[in-house]
């Protein structure tokens, strides 16, 4: 099938798109929702503007959809985006793992428009998902944390076997989801099998930590698309 991939720049949306290609589907375009509301129920917001750079890395066209991110009302923006794509696609792919709120709404909108909903990660064991992402070459970093045990030292840290081991310990102590499905953390993918045109390199970034809220964000100010050691494009975010 010809699919539109809902992406945020995080590990799960891009991994789901990759798995869809492994299943024989064709990713026709990327779709990113640019929410004004950092507390959106549906959409990832940290460093969301980097989706332009991610599209460059993949070589795929990108549809950016502005949304106010208001609960339930933001679903109209999802519907409008898919209607805009019209007959160019047969379905959508999303990276939902356990969020029934997100999955039911995407499935419902897709069904109303006669589109399939492909969700390769849905209901999979969360530890298995993260292990598979690491094994299959997803190079991601933590760009937002908001859970017990996740402090400012995690901001900008890579997702790898060592950090996964630490997440498992936090899961034992505080029930932190190792996949971040409870909103405990968000990630940014710097490289992955879908990045056929180059990888994302961070040029300038800063940690913003709120000690009172015990949460923080790794804000990327400037990023570059790099191919075989050569910078293709460098821009502020």
Q: Can you tell me the mean pLDDT for 133-162?
A: 97
Q: Can you tell me the mean pLDDT for 103-130?
A: 97
pTM: 0.95
How far, in Å, CA of 57 to CA of 92, rounded?
A: 20
User: How confident is the model over 55-71, as pLDDT tens digits?
Assistant: 999 999 999 999 998 88
Domains in the chain (CATH in brackets) are: 2-118 (3.40.50.620), 138-236 (3.90.1490.10)
- What the block records as the tokens of 67 is 């949304």
How far, in Å, CA of 203 to CA of 205, rounded?
A: 7
User: How confident is the model over 183-227, as pLDDT tens digits?
Assistant: 999 999 999 999 999 999 999 999 999 999 999 999 999 999 998
Cα–Cα nearest to 190, from 181, 203, 209: 203
């Amino acid at each position: 099938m010809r699919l539109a991939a809902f992406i945020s720049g995080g590990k799960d949306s891009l991994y789901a798109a990759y798995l869809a290609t492994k299943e024989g589907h064709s990713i026709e375009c990327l779709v990113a929702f640019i929410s004004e509301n950092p507390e959106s129920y549906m959409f990832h917001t940290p460093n969301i503007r980097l989706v332009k750079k991610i599209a460059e890395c993949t070589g795929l066209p990108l549809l950016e959809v502005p949304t106010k991110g208001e609960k339930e009302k933001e679903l109209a923006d999802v519907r409008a985006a898919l209607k805009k794509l019209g007959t160019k696609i047969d379905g959508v792919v999303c990276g939902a793992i356990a969020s029934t709120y997100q999955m039911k709404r995407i499935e419902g909108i897709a069904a109303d428009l006669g589109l399939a909903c492909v969700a390769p990660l849905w209901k999979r064991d969360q530890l298995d998902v993260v292990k598979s992402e690491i094994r299959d070459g997803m190079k991601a970093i933590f760009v937002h944390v908001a859970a017990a045990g996740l402090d400012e030292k995690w901001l900008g840290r890579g997702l790898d076997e060592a950090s996964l081991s630490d997440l498992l310990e936090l899961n034992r102590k505080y029930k932190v989801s190792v996949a971040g499905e409870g909103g405990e953390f968000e990630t940014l993918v710097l490289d992955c099998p879908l990045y056929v045109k180059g990888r994302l390199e961070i040029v300038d970034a800063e940690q913003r930590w709120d000690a009172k809220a015990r949460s923080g964000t790794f804000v990327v100010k400037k990023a570059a698309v790099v191919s075989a050691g050569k910078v293709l494009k460098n821009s502020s975010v």
